[in-house]
Structure 1
Amino acid sequence: MASSAVTIPVPGPSGDREVRLSSPDRVLWPEAGITKLDLATYMVEVSEAFLAANGDRPVSLQRFPGGVDGEWFFSKNPPKGAPDYVDAVTVEYPSARSHPQAVLNETAATVWAVQMNTIVFHPWASRAGDTDHPDQLRIDLDPQPGTDFDDAIPAALALRDLLAEAGLTAFVKTSGNRGLHVFAPIEPVLEFLDVRHAVIAAARELERRLPDTVTTNWWKEERGQKMFVDFNQANRDRTMAGAYSPRALPMASVSCPLEWDELGSVDPHSLTIHSIPERLRTIGDPWARMHEKPGRLDTLMEWWARDLENGLGELPFPPDFPKMPGEPPRVQPSRARTPDPN
């Protein structure tokens, strides 16, 4: 029977904080046997690297009250009664509505998020001090049916080289499942739409270089057995699992930063809540120095302008977005009406 609650001492900026954790013995990952207390302990152990990657950013909390096999929902606004060490910042969503969103800036806030049944943390690409201008270019390499993690590796390496040609330093992490996430630090001077266009330009160039294995086709029926470059993850309020965030998958895998030379040998399913703390103790955080030398998107924006001149325009936006200027019809190709020849 689960105990009612425990109090966890959590190191803070001015000494330990006492954070209450209810139902600590509740099993969140049945197959792996990982409890709520195990998750809270993990967050304390990896807090330095986790906060370096995800702190000082608006964050959406993916909450699973019944564990990973149960229902879940996203929580963006800090709930009533949130402790004063959980920060918040007002952000504007694609609908033009504005709301406060949680910002996690210390270890106790991450443990509080666990108390709120958070399993997956989804940080924005922009900082709390300037939420309209991303300081990260993010590209999601998403394996399609018939492909797997090993198929994402050549695409990621080619993307790294491509971004280097554009003056950007790329960093890589596992998605926690089959894909890879490639990030590049950038100066926060462009709006989300411009950064999206830079991502599309990079994606199209990657597709030109690897036409047999990479696709930018938004519609699944057109992708085939290729690596989809998900350009829409660059939009405002579109997020992916943060670095060192657990995933709601059977063995509690983690979205884990890697050194580039690890790609050929790492098993992404071995990077779990159980293994990551020791990994950080022994090899450190591959992303620790990510933001020391942010780049600019000038070259990618030149590629975007070039593609526009060559007739390659806007690509589809997510279905929950308002219709955007220059966007093609949001109609699945197989359902599009064929023009009447008469």
Structure 2
Amino acid sequence: MPNPVPNTVVEGRELALTSLGKVLYPATGFTKGDVVEYYSSVAEAILPHLRDRPASFVRAPGGVESSPFMAKHVPPGTPDWVTVREVHRVDGSTDRQVLVQDLPTLLWAANLAALELHVPQWRLPAEGEADRLVFDLDPGAPATIVECCAVAVWLRDRLARDGLSAYAKTSGSKGLHVLVPLRPTDAGAVADHAERLAREASEELPELAVHQVPKSLRTGRVFVDHSQNAWTRTTAAPYTLRARPRPTVSTPVTWDEVVGCAEPDDLVFAAGDIAARLERHGDLLGPLLDPSRAGRLPDGD
């Protein structure tokens, strides 16, 4: 797709793209037009990771320095061609949420200044049947992503003992995500298994990892957050921008990059870095989309 212009037609859908010159990342001058162009450039990679997963958006219409907010509900004025589905809440009621199923919807969301795209670990219609397990590794200063990488390698090897393959991506913020493709499995069972492994990590790596929530316990260590496996929780999607001072991206990385990470900046990627990485590596999280790569939790889980 060429650079976005107002009132353009994308795959037969008319999009009214507005205020494309508005700067959303003041530190770098990255505009809403740049956001739309970025998502257009990575659409082939990101859309399979979004498809059939109810999306939550972190919107920043005033820019990243002006109170970005999480939006789960369908916004007013949503075009009738955007796919919307009912999704259950914890209390048994339902919400209507957007499914980002195609390029027009992705660019429509970008035009809303939906910088971040978050999705659950399951796909509709199998609500609550997880097809992946995730750990969000969050460093407590002075720890950095370097320490997250050490914990990620431990998790990779521990998961391998369960017959599960692990893949990694940066969070696009401070930490690292470790993801495992699964055959559709009750989300409660997946959450329980993830919690057990987080506890094991804190026991095996007591100076490096912690699984408890209180921030007072995290100083200089990595919080192994397993909570995003709950069926009501979401995780930043692969290739999503983040609402940080710079337009950083939650970027799939190789295990060689994880093992070789010596400085925090080694695993920081911005929007301008992603096209070349896709050209070089393809989608490093492609195995998450391949049913033949999906594992099964150990017996008893």
Q: Which amino acid aligns with 1:201?
A: R
Matches within 5 A, 1:125-164: 125-164=121-160
Aligned residues: 291
What residue number does 2:178 align with?
Answer: 182
What residue number does 1:267 align with?
Answer: 266
1:68 CA displacement? 0.5
- Cα distance per residue 1:273-317 (max 9 Å; x no partner): 11112221232111123232211113582xxxxxxxxxxxxxxxx
Q: TM-score, normalised by structure 1?
A: 0.81
Structure 1 range deviating more: 198-207 or 34-43: 198-207
Which of the residues 240, 247, 259 maps onto 1:245?
A: 240
- Cα distance per residue 1:148-169 (max 9 Å; x no partner): 0111111001100111111111
Is the CA contact (8 Å cut-off) linking 1:139 and 1:229 kept in structure 2?
A: yes
SS of equivalent residue, structure 1 residue 147: coil
What residue number does 1:6 align with?
Answer: 6
Matched, 1:72 2:68: yes
Matched, 1:25 2:26: no
What is the alpha-carbon distance in structure 2 between the residues aligned to residue 89 and residue 167 of structure 1? 35
Is the CA contact (8 Å cut-off) linking 1:122 and 1:241 kept in structure 2?
A: yes
Question: Which of these two proteins has the greater Rg computed from alpha carbons?
Answer: 1
Which of the residues 266, 285, 288 maps onto 1:287?
A: 285
SS of equivalent residue, structure 1 residue 189: strand
Structure 1 range deviating more: 290-299 or 47-56: 290-299
Is the CA contact (8 Å cut-off) linking 1:42 and 1:277 kept in structure 2?
A: no
What residue number does 2:90 align with?
Answer: 94
SS of equivalent residue, structure 2 residue 249: coil
Which of the residues 104, 107, 118 maps onto 1:122?
A: 118
SS of equivalent residue, structure 1 residue 298: coil
What residue number does 2:214 align with?
Answer: 219
SS of equivalent residue, structure 1 residue 53: helix
What is the alpha-carbon distance in structure 1 between the residues aligned to residue 280 and residue 166 of structure 2? 23
What is the alpha-carbon distance in structure 1 between the residues aligned to residue 86 and residue 40 of structure 2? 27
SS of equivalent residue, structure 1 residue 108: helix
SS of equivalent residue, structure 1 residue 167: coil
What is the alpha-carbon distance in structure 2 between the residues aligned to residue 299 and residue 154 of structure 1? 28
Matches within 5 A, 1:331-342: none
Q: Which amino acid aligns with 1:173?
A: K
What is the alpha-carbon distance in structure 1 between the residues aligned to residue 204 and residue 299 of structure 2? 17
Q: Which amino acid aligns with 2:85?
A: V
Is the CA contact (8 Å cut-off) linking 1:26 and 1:36 kept in structure 2?
A: yes
1:65 CA displacement? 1.4
What is the alpha-carbon distance in structure 1 between the residues aligned to residue 111 and residue 243 of structure 2? 16
1:18 CA displacement? 3.1
- How much identity, in percent, do the aligned residues show? 34
Q: For the aligned residues, what is the CA RMSD? A: 1.7
Q: Which has the higher strand share?
A: 2
What is the alpha-carbon distance in structure 1 between the residues aligned to residue 208 and residue 75 of structure 2? 44
Matched, 1:167 2:166: no
Is the CA contact (8 Å cut-off) linking 2:130 and 2:231 kept in structure 1?
A: no
| Change in CA separation of 1:99 and 1:130 when aligned onto 2, cut-off 3 Å | same
What is the alpha-carbon distance in structure 1 between the residues aligned to residue 52 and residue 32 of structure 2? 25
Which 5+ residue runs of structure 2 have no aligned equivalent?
none
